[in-house]
Amino acid sequence: MDTGEYCFMEHTDLKGFDVGVMYEVAGGPKQCHAFCNELSKCNFFLYKATNHECWLKGLPDDANVTSLLTNGTDMIFGGLNCSI
């Protein structure tokens, strides 16, 4: 799965597949990306700016990520392989 093509996409959500959550993340989506990088089962992250939440996401290798993405409000979605 190439997670690098999903980098810091605004107003995008990946429903479900949560493998962890961090609250009061002051560092924004870049810090969320770092948290994801530290967790072996994390492939994607979702940063919710309203509450400064970082949702860590995992998917099976054969999952079609594009078909699972939905519109979100005040959210930034990204893949583990995004360049910072």
Residue pLDDT, tens place only, 4-48: 678 899 999 988 899 999 999 999 999 999 999 999 999 999 999
Q: What pLDDT, on the 0 to 100 scale, is given for residue 84? A: 65
68: exposed, middle or buried (Cβ count in 10 Å: 0-12, 13-18, 19+): middle
Does 5 reside within a domain? yes
> What amino acid occupies position 30?
K
Residue 80: which CATH number?
3.50.4.10
Rounded Cα distance between 76 and 5, Å, is 14
**pTM, to two decimals:** 0.86
* Domain-located, residue 63: no
Whether residue 10 contacts residue 63, with contact meaning beta carbons closer than 8 Å, is answered with no
Q: What is the pLDDT of residue 39?
A: 92
What's the structural domain count of the chain?
A: 1
Torsion of CA 48, 52, 60, 5, to 10 degrees: 60
Looking at residue 2, what is its pLDDT?
A: 66
Q: What is the pLDDT of residue 1?
A: 62
